[in-house]
């Protein structure tokens, strides 16, 4: 990319800067780091096409470097205030726009940043992350591979595996002849599908009734299609389009819609929810648990989970919380976990995502 084209591209950002220091930082980032990134990717691709492993390393290093520089820039200009927030948002938007010259060749990066379903983390994106398969050709295959192998995406695969383990353990230890499961924010129900694909359901002789809820009807269609083959007289599936906001606002109504549950899980969703909705949602789920039932929620620990690449390349925006924030949120909202519920924490293999598990004690009173 020519320097003059980049200069035109960053003019819109300059209008949002507040002083010459900010202008200098922004210009430096785009004219040096971003131009260097685009040119560098094109050059190494040309030069090392015949050495794919080395080329992949070169591309990974360049991707990591440019987002590191972006993060550095963000920290330097980070000051509280709407104007600075808008400036940072615009810098990131422009960054994604100008690097399209190379990222457009990667189907996975393209899907991740364009978000065709209108929100980040849709079921197709998750399928790509779980499948861990390169979908593009040419330069795009290396960018696909980069995104699939960043720490934050690797941990999403570990998150699925951990939940399947929790599900298997719960089902196998229960003495009940019938288990009611509820996945809220199920996406393509990959967790449940993995449980069935691995044949773990055969270890349980009772009946499994699995309800899947998501705001996205295409995700539900997808889940329905792939789960259909496991349906039999001992395994039932239900699907419902609903949003967590709505559920949290009409707790009593949805308590009777869903009925009592033994295992409720909510994976990869809480990180998007503002605290007021999240807390109401937790209260709802705790309230519909049967005695002995578990409510399992995954959280990214933003002190550890590396959000920089997803943020800069894909515009995946989350509510940043760490373990302490979550525990404070429960305590500050008087969720009396000690008396009626047992609280347990489990980490995924990479320790950047944890599960908060609330088990309803057998002699507990109803919360709702």
Ligand X SMILES: C[S@@+](CC[C@H](N)C(=O)[O-])C[C@H]1O[C@@H](n2cnc3c(N)ncnc32)[C@H](O)[C@@H]1O
Q: Give the integer Cα–Cα distance in Å for 95 and 313.
A: 8
Task: Give the x-and-dash track for 6-35 against ligand X (CB under 6 A).
Answer: ------------------------------
# of chain residues touching ligand X (CB under 6 A):
20
263 binds ligand X (CB under 6 A): no
243 binds ligand X (CB under 6 A): yes
b/e for 317-331, b at 16 or more Cβ within 10 A? ebbebbbeebeebbe
Q: Give the integer Cα–Cα distance in Å for 110 and 199.
A: 34
Task: Give the x-and-dash track for 119-138 against ligand X (CB under 6 A).
Answer: --xxx--x------------
Which among 57-65, 95-103, 214-222, 348-356 is the span making contact with ligand X, rule CB under 6 A?
Answer: 214-222
Nearest distance, CB of residue 137 and ligand X, angstroms:
27
Q: Give the integer Cα–Cα distance in Å for 348 and 174.
A: 23
Nearest distance, CB of residue 122 and ligand X, angstroms:
6
Q: Give the integer Cα–Cα distance in Å for 334 and 161.
A: 32
186 binds ligand X (CB under 6 A): yes
356 binds ligand X (CB under 6 A): no
348 binds ligand X (CB under 6 A): no
315 binds ligand X (CB under 6 A): no
DSSP string, 294-319: EEEEEEE-TTTS--HHIIIII-----
214 binds ligand X (CB under 6 A): yes
Nearer to ligand X among residue 42 and residue 124 (C-beta) = 124
Nearest distance, CB of residue 94 and ligand X, angstroms:
26
Structure tokens at 254: 């949805």
Structure tokens at 321: 């919380």
Location of structure tokens 């960043």: 150
268 binds ligand X (CB under 6 A): yes
Q: Could you give the angle at which helices 323-332 and 275-287 cross, rounded to 10 degrees?
A: 70
194 binds ligand X (CB under 6 A): no
> In the chain, which ranges are E strands?
178-184, 207-214, 235-241, 261-266, 289-300, 341-347, 353-360
Which among 33-41, 103-111, 115-123, 355-363 is the span making contact with ligand X, rule CB under 6 A?
Answer: 115-123
Specify whether the CB–CB gap between 341 and 366 falls below 8 A. Answer: no
245 binds ligand X (CB under 6 A): yes
Count, in order, helices (H) and strands (E) of the chain. 18, 7
Nearer to ligand X among residue 164 and residue 337 (C-beta) = 164
DSSP reduced 3-state for 336: coil
Which among 91-99, 166-174, 264-272, 356-364 is the span making contact with ligand X, rule CB under 6 A?
Answer: 264-272
Structure tokens at 146: 């980069």
Nearest distance, CB of residue 243 and ligand X, angstroms:
4
244 binds ligand X (CB under 6 A): yes
Which among 67-75, 117-125, 167-175, 285-293 is the span making contact with ligand X, rule CB under 6 A?
Answer: 117-125
Q: How many CB atoms lie within 10 A of CB 206?
A: 13
167 binds ligand X (CB under 6 A): no
216 binds ligand X (CB under 6 A): yes
Query: Interior CA angle at 38 toward 79 and 77, to 5°?
Result: 5
Nearer to ligand X among residue 265 and residue 312 (C-beta) = 265
Nearer to ligand X among residue 44 and residue 223 (C-beta) = 223
Q: Which residues bind ligand X (CB under 6 A)?
A: 121-123, 126, 185-187, 190-191, 214-216, 219, 243-245, 267-269, 272
């Amino acid at each position: 990319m020519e320097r003059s084209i980049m200069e035109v591209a960053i003019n819109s950002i300059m209008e949002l800067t507040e002083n010459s220091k900010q202008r200098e930082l922004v210009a430096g980032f785009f004219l040096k780091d971003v131009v260097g990134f685009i040119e560098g990717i094109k050059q190494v691709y040309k030069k090392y096409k015949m050495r794919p492993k080395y080329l992949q390393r070169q591309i990974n290093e360049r991707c990591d470097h440019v987002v590191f520089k972006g993060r550095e820039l963000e920290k330097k200009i980070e000051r509280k205030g709407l104007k600075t927030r808008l400036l940072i948002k615009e810098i990131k938007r422009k960054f994604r726009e100008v690097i399209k010259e190379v990222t457009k060749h990667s189907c996975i990066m393209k899907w991740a940043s364009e978000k065709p379903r209108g929100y980040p983390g849709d079921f197709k994106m998750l399928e790509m992350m779980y499948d861990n398969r390169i979908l593009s050709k040419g330069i795009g295959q290396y960018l696909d591979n980069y995104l699939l192998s960043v720490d934050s995406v690797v941990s999403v695969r570990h998150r699925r595996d951990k939940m399947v383990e929790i599900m298997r353990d719960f089902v196998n230890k229960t003495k009940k002849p019938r288990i009611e499961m509820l996945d809220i924010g199920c996406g393509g129900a990959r967790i449940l599908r993995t449980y069935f694909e691995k044949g773990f359901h055969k270890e349980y002789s009772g009946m499994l009734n699995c309800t899947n809820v998501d705001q996205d009807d295409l995700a539900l269609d997808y889940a329905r299609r792939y789960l259909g083959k496991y349906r039999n007289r001992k395994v039932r599936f239900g699907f419902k389009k609903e949003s967590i906001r709505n559920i949290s606002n009409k707790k009593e109504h949805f308590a009777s819609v869903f009925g009592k549950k033994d295992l409720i899980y909510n994976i990869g969703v809480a990180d998007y929810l503002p605290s007021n909705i999240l807390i109401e949602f937790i209260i709802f789920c705790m309230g519909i648990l049967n005695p002995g039932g578990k409510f399992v929620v995954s959280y990214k620990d933003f002190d550890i989970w590396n959000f920089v690449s997803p943020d800069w390349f894909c515009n995946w925006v989350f509510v940043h919380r760490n373990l302490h924030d979550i525990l404070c949120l429960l305590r500050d909202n008087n969720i009396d976990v000690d008396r009626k519920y047992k609280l347990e924490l489990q980490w995924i293999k990479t320790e950047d995502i944890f599960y908060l598990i609330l088990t309803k004690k057998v002699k507990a009173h109803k919360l709702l």
